[in-house]
Amino acid sequence: ISELQYLPDQSRGNVGIALDYKIMISKDRKKWKEVESGEFSNIRNNPIRQLITFKKNKKARYLKFTTKNIADGQSKLGIAEFDVF
């Protein structure tokens, strides 16, 4: 894995948009390793495709994308597209 792309749900305005992220990977779903984390700057005002580029390519069978903060205090995350390269 070299990068991820996250496109927020475009049908809900800026509701349900991830403001930050943590990416974890695993080969067996038992041991997880955090590989990237950060924030999406100005995503509330500009909810376009977000690119997360890894510092080094990673090998994994499983991937977790988590967020602690969702725009407008929502409990549901809206994703239009999520691509892994």
| DSSP-derived secondary structure letter, 83 | E
Closest CA to 50 of 34, 59, 61, 38: 38
Indicate whether 74 pLDDT > 90: no
What confidence score (pLDDT) does residue 62 get? Answer: 98
**pLDDT band at 7; cut points 50, 70, 90:** very high
User: How does pLDDT run across 10-44, given as a tens digit for each residue?
Assistant: 998 888 999 999 999 999 999 999 999 999 999 99
Structure tokens at 65: 């994308």
Which domain does 64 fall in, by range? Answer: 3-84
Indicate which CATH number applies to the domain containing 48: 2.60.120.260
What confidence score (pLDDT) does residue 13 get? Answer: 82
Do the beta carbons of residue 36 and residue 66 sit within 8 Å?
A: no
User: How does pLDDT run across 48-73, given as a tens digit for each residue?
Assistant: 999 999 999 999 999 999 999 999 88
Q: How far is CA 75 from CA 16, 17, 52, 78, in A?
A: 7, 10, 23, 10
Bridge partners (DSSP) listed for residue 2: none
> What's the pTM?
0.89
Structure tokens at 35: 């590989």
Give how many domains the chain has, as a whole number.
1
